[in-house]
Amino acid sequence: MQKFIVTGGSRLRGELQLQGSKNSALPIMAAAILPDGECLIKNCPGLTDVYSAARILNCLGCKCIFSDNTVTTDSSALSSSEIPDELMREMRSSIVFMGAVLGRMKECTVSIPGGCELGPRPIDMHLSSMQKMGIDIRETGGRIICRTRSGRPKGAKITLNFPSVGATENIILCAVLAQGETVINNAAREPEICDLCGFLRSCGADIIGDGESRIIINGKDKLHGCEYSVMPDRIAGATYLSMAAAAGGELILKNACVAESEPFLSILEQTGCTLNTGENKIYIRSGGRLRAVRDRIRTMPHPGFPTDAQAVLMAALSLAEGTSVFEENIFDCRYRHTDALVKMGADIQVMGKIAVVKGVSRLHGANVEATDLRGGAAMLAAALAAEGTSEISRIYHIDRGYEKIEEAVRLLGGDMKRVQ
Ligand code: EPZ
């Protein structure tokens, strides 16, 4: 099993070209099922989750090739509406294929996604929304068999009781080829939803309101192929900025999405780092010790503070002067990285959804196991700022969401290598 060996103490310095967004590329790859023809999806990150999505597309008969950060798809020979259990298990977010397959094939068989490292991952909102769109759903033996009651899915008015990103995506994917109008109230407003809708509009879809809480989709009879470029990954950006804040140094993120990163940047600047932003650049300089963040850091749906940046910011604040308090409101157990940070010398108390982080003057290297994607990245950020050497195992979690992360860190002067 591969590991990262990281020796802390070096300040990070340099420029980084941000990877394409994992959480945008995945729903866009699912959406490539909908047009009858070829799509060219550029700026796709080379991640294990992206390769899993490519395997699902090929299994459905939608040809999919990943080469040089471009995904080429051709759905003209789509032949199956069933995603095998083993492919569903590779990636929890594969549930987002359900809406696209239903939209194009009017039927779909998937597995109930298992829980993941962040706790149970229910899909009740996904299923109830599909039912409102005229889909019959039967669950048997862990499989979900969906079929339209008659003809195409029907447009519907759907109000989500929580602005779920995945449920919003599934409704959009099912609605673009449905009969009539679909209105989503309390829709998720994440930038990746806007990127998905940008791709679908390039294919001829009729969608308005994405980025706001009400999205209106007018179903079309057909969609055509397109060429599209995935937005930059704002969470990868938050990760590298947190690494520089923790280890000290100067970093310029190129092709960053500044406006979409604002909810994170507004908290990061309270730590005393110097932050400047340009049209699509973010500059950070971190000198001595960070300051603790005075206000409670509450993870919220966009445009609130992103839950995906909670762990990496916590790693940086472990070394701050003073005490910071996190409140994790999105996932049931998203503090699994704290044990590893404490093993490296951090002072963190977890009580339910609250984590109290009392800054310490130094962290020391330790042998730790990545618990999940963003938790593993937090351990890496802490290891780069710690004195001594750390070993991080189970790094397959990190490879799910960060492209060539050891190359990026080494480019910035960090001492890190991947070993078998
Ligand atoms: C997406 O997950 C992202 N994943 C997550 O990023 C991100 O943390 C999350 O949105 C929130 O921003 C992808 O885009 C692939 P949700 P998703 O549906 O769609 C509950 C990462 O690190 N819920 O908004 O699964 C759910 O359990 C990953 O890149 C229901 O109860 O998130 C969770 O507590 C992690 N019933 C909350 O809502 C449902 O039917 C938010 O989930 C659906 C969701």
pLDDT in tens, 353-396: 999 999 999 999 999 999 999 999 999 999 999 999 999 999 99
Nearest residue (CA) to ligand 1, atom 3: 23
Residues 254 and 174 in one domain: no
Q: Is the pLDDT of residue 152 over 80?
A: yes
Nearest residue (CA) to ligand 1, atom 42: 164
Who contacts 372 (Cβ-Cβ below 8 Å, separation ≥6)?
116, 117, 118, 334, 336, 337, 397
- The whole-number average pLDDT for the span 188-205 is 98
Q: Is 64 marked active-site? A: no
Task: Kindly state the DSSP code that residue 72 receives in the 8-state scheme.
Answer: E
Q: How many helices (H) and strands (E) does the chain have?
A: 14, 23
Residues 194 and 341 in one domain: no
Of 13-22, 110-119, 338-347, the poorest mean pLDDT is in: 110-119
401 lines ligand 1 (CB under 6 A): yes
Burial track 71-110 (b if 16+ CB lie within 10 A, e otherwise): bbbbbeebeebebeeebbebbbbbbbbbbbbbbbbbebbb
Q: Is the pLDDT of residue 171 over 80?
A: yes
Radius of gyration of the chain (CA): 21
Which of 228, 246, 268 is the last residue in one of the domains?
A: 228
Q: How many CB atoms lie within 10 A of CB 219?
A: 21
Give the distance (Å) from ligand 1 centre to CA of residue 121.
Answer: 8
Residues 32 and 165 in one domain: yes
Q: What is the pLDDT of residue 211?
A: 98
Query: Which atom of ligand 1 lies closest to the CA of 306?
Result: 12
Give the distance (Å) from ligand 1 centre to CA of residue 203.
Answer: 26
Q: Which residue has the tokens 């603790």?
A: 292
Q: Is the pLDDT of residue 329 over 80?
A: yes
Query: Which atom of ligand 1 lies closest to the CA of 332?
Result: 34
Query: How far, rounded to the nearest angstrom, does the alpha carbon of residue 99 sit from its chain's CA centroid?
Result: 18
Answer for the pair 32, 64: CB distance below 8 angstroms, yes or no: yes
Q: What is the pLDDT of residue 164?
A: 98
- The whole-number average pLDDT for the span 111-115 is 78
Q: Is the pLDDT of residue 114 over 90?
A: no
Q: Is the pLDDT of residue 170 over 80?
A: yes
166 lines ligand 1 (CB under 6 A): yes
Give the distance (Å) from ligand 1 centre to CA of residue 164.
Answer: 6
Dihedral sign for Cα atoms in the order 162, 166, 167, 172: positive
State which residues form the domain around 262. 3-19+232-419
121 lines ligand 1 (CB under 6 A): yes
Q: In the structure, what pLDDT confidence band is assigned to residue 236 with cuts at 50, 70 and 90?
A: very high
220 lines ligand 1 (CB under 6 A): no
Q: What is the pLDDT of residue 117?
A: 78
Residues 7 and 74 in one domain: no
Percent of residues, the chain, with pLDDT higher than 90: 94
Residues 52 and 148 in one domain: yes
Question: Residue 183 to residues 132, 186, 285, 326: CA-CA distances in angstroms?
Answer: 11, 10, 44, 34
Q: In the structure, what pLDDT confidence band is assigned to residue 115 with cuts at 50, 70 and 90?
A: low
Q: What is the pLDDT of residue 314?
A: 98
Residues 171 and 295 in one domain: no
Cα gap 318→168, rounded to integer Å: 35
- The whole-number average pLDDT for the span 313-333 is 97
Residue 88 tokens, joined: 């569903």
**Overall number of domains in the chain:** 2
Residues 214 and 355 in one domain: no
Residues 178 and 160 in one domain: yes
Residue to substitute in 23, 131, 307 for testing ligand 1 pocket (most ligand atoms within 8 angstroms of CB): 23
Cα gap 370→20, rounded to integer Å: 23
Which of 228, 243, 260 is the last residue in one of the domains?
A: 228
Q: What is the pLDDT of residue 260?
A: 97
Q: Which of 116, 146, 174, 226 is catalytic?
A: 116
- The whole-number average pLDDT for the span 86-106 is 93
195 lines ligand 1 (CB under 6 A): no
Residues 220 and 310 in one domain: no
The domain that holds 249 is classified in CATH as: 3.65.10.10
Nearest residue (CA) to ligand 1, atom 34: 331
Residue to substitute in 165, 299, 400 for testing ligand 1 pocket (most ligand atoms within 8 angstroms of CB): 165
Who contacts 86 (Cβ-Cβ below 8 Å, separation ≥6)?
none
Residues 216 and 274 in one domain: no
Residues 251 and 372 in one domain: yes
Residues 178 and 262 in one domain: no
Nearest residue (CA) to ligand 1, atom 44: 164
Give the distance (Å) from ligand 1 centre to CA of residue 159.
Answer: 17
Nearest residue (CA) to ligand 1, atom 37: 330
304 lines ligand 1 (CB under 6 A): no
Which of 195, 228, 261 is the last residue in one of the domains?
A: 228
Residue 220 tokens, joined: 């079309």
Residues 303-315: pLDDT tens digits?
A: 999 999 999 999 9
Residues 265-296: pLDDT tens digits?
A: 999 999 999 999 998 999 999 987 999 999 99
Q: What is the pLDDT of residue 81?
A: 98
| Average pLDDT over all residues of the chain | 96
Burial track 225-238 (b if 16+ CB lie within 10 A, e otherwise): bbebbbbbbbbbbb
